[in-house]
Amino acid sequence: MLSANMEKSSPNMFLYALPKIATSMLMGFADFALLFLYGVVFSLSGVYVGIALFLGKISISILQFVFGWVSDHFPYLNKLGRRKPFLIFFSPFLALSFLFLVMPGPFLGSNPSEIHLFLWFAIWNISFQGLYGIHSPYQAWLAELFHIEERPKVSAVQNIFMIIGTAIMLIFSMLVLTDVQEELKENVAAVPIEFSSAVIIFSLMVVAFFYICAFKLPVEKKQEIKTTLLKDFKALLHDHNFLHFSILVGLTSLAWIIANQYLLPFAEVILGLDFIGYALLAVIMVLVLIVSIMGWRKSIHKNGKDTTLHWIYLLSIIVLPFSLVPMLSLPSPFFFGAIYIPCVAIGLGGWTFFPYVIYADLAEHEAKKGKSALKAGLYAGFPFLPLNVFQAIGLFIAGILLELPTYPFQTGLKSLGFVVWGPICSFFFIITYLYKKKFVRLDLENGNS
């Protein structure tokens, strides 16, 4: 493991966090804009959209766990260790699957049937989400390269890079995607150059950044792990706090995945923002995310992880139901959106700071308690089983909401699903908040950072 000397570890923090820019663009688009792309732009049935999104998350739930466990037990290569081979081999396939997922037109033709469009969406979403499983070996390095005192800072750097990627994704989705949607509706195969070139650049970036990370970072400390998958799985079942936190992450992500999928359709379909409105809103959201993450990080140091997470839940519970406000007559839809959507982003920014720091803390805590090897890949990968199962359920719900009856909004007759997602997410957060208070403890005795 690396020295705690900050002169040594600080450069590695930035190298380690670099892939977050690219992965947040790709996965951010998948979680933020796929429902809009296929459900609104390509007019695919909400049921089909929900099923395709559901299957993608089931794929990632299995493969992130498998990749994490396999990387723990992978033969240790002197120059590459156990984690790097996964990033080097799989990242090009991850990039390629993203290309196919978001640009079906050149392969399906100008007017594909609904069943062909659904099958394409389902197959490539399953492939893309499953290949994102390489994130588990990558994230396992957090526990292996950085001491517990450094992890909140490393996570903060990751989140800054994640914000950069998210900002690029927001600008692309809210400006480019919404601007070319009419062209794509008329002819799926005629992909505008500004859309296709951005997608290709995003795909190349994920390969380049994973390769920089893999070839520049030191390998993890060599240790022998010879346990079986069944034995490790049984051991995890005895780590009750870790299991409860994994379920908590799943419950939280169920709500956030619905919210993420509907923020863009909410702004486009319900608020009817124009190009300038989208541009201003994107800038506001990015600034709010940066400030909120720094604020939540300070709160962790001052008040602890448990208290800070409670505040994040309470904020989200209060804010999200205001998505119903556009059912009334709004004098300024942009003004409402410029307040409401960034407020949602404050809660989201707080949540994104938490999971990986806690996984690393729990992995080290269990290793010290049992005097066993640090199974960072297992602890980084297992939580994605419940997380993505819950996300799959959330995405299926998101698709079904498109099929709700219509309502006469200011922008015309639209599905009630475009506004009722807010109180539905709030309800899930109430359940999650109560579960957290009852079962999960984050401020462990091995560190309170």
pLDDT tens digit sequence for 15-53: 888 999 999 899 889 888 899 999 989 999 999 999 999
Domain count, the chain: 1
Which of 213-227, 347-361, 386-400, 420-434 is predicted most confidently? 420-434
Is the predicted pLDDT of residue 276 greater than 60, yes or no?
Answer: yes
Looking at per-residue pLDDT, the higher value among 368 and 87 belongs to: 87
448 lies in some domain: no
pLDDT tens sequence across 117-130: 999 999 999 999 99
- Residue 207 contacts by C-beta under 8 Å, 6 or more apart in sequence? 91, 92, 94, 95
Helix (H, G, I), strand (E, B) or coil at 206: helix
Is the predicted pLDDT of residue 1 greater than 50, yes or no?
Answer: no
pTM of the model: 0.77
The pLDDT mean for the chain works out to 84
307 lies in some domain: yes
Task: Find the domain containing 32 and state its range.
Answer: 6-439
Buried/exposed 53-73: b ≥16 CB within 10 Å, e otherwise: bbbbbbbbbbbbbbbbbbbbb
Least confidently predicted of 137-151, 258-272, 354-368: 354-368
Q: Which residue has the tokens 């990751």?
A: 158
The tokens for 48 are 């089909």
CATH classification of the domain holding 283: 1.20.1250.20
Nearest to 188 by CA among 398, 41, 378: 41
pLDDT tens sequence across 283-340: 888 788 778 878 887 888 888 888 999 999 999 999 999 999 999 988 899 999 999 9
Q: What phi and psi values does residue 382 have, to the nearest 5 degrees?
A: -60, -40
Least confidently predicted of 156-160, 179-183, 395-399, 418-422: 156-160
Taking residues 92-103, report their average pLDDT: 96
- Residue 428 contacts by C-beta under 8 Å, 6 or more apart in sequence? 251, 254, 255, 258
Q: What is the pLDDT of residue 356?
A: 59
1 lies in some domain: no
84 lies in some domain: yes
444 lies in some domain: no
Taking residues 397-421, report their average pLDDT: 94
Nearest-angstrom CA–CA distance, 371 and 343: 44
Is the predicted pLDDT of residue 167 greater than 90, yes or no?
Answer: no
Q: How confident is the model at residue 258 (pLDDT cuts 50, 70, 90)?
A: very high
449 lies in some domain: no
Looking at per-residue pLDDT, the higher value among 227 and 14 belongs to: 14
287 lies in some domain: yes
Instruction: Kindly report the number of other CB atoms within 10 A of residue 224's CB atom.
Output: 7
Taking residues 136-152, report their average pLDDT: 72
> Distance between the two ends of the chain, CA-based, in angstroms?
19
445 lies in some domain: no
Which amino acid is residue 112, in one-letter code? P
Return the ∠ at Cα 280 (arms to 276 and 286), rounded to 5°.
Answer: 145
The tokens for 46 are 């909400």
Q: How do beta strands 406-409 and 412-415 pair?
A: antiparallel
Which of 98-102, 136-140, 440-444 is predicted most confidently? 98-102
Taking residues 273-279, report their average pLDDT: 83
Is the predicted pLDDT of residue 78 greater than 80, yes or no?
Answer: no
Which of 147-161, 323-337, 385-399 is predicted most confidently? 323-337
- Neighbouring-strand partners of residue 81: 77
Q: What is the pLDDT of residue 51?
A: 95
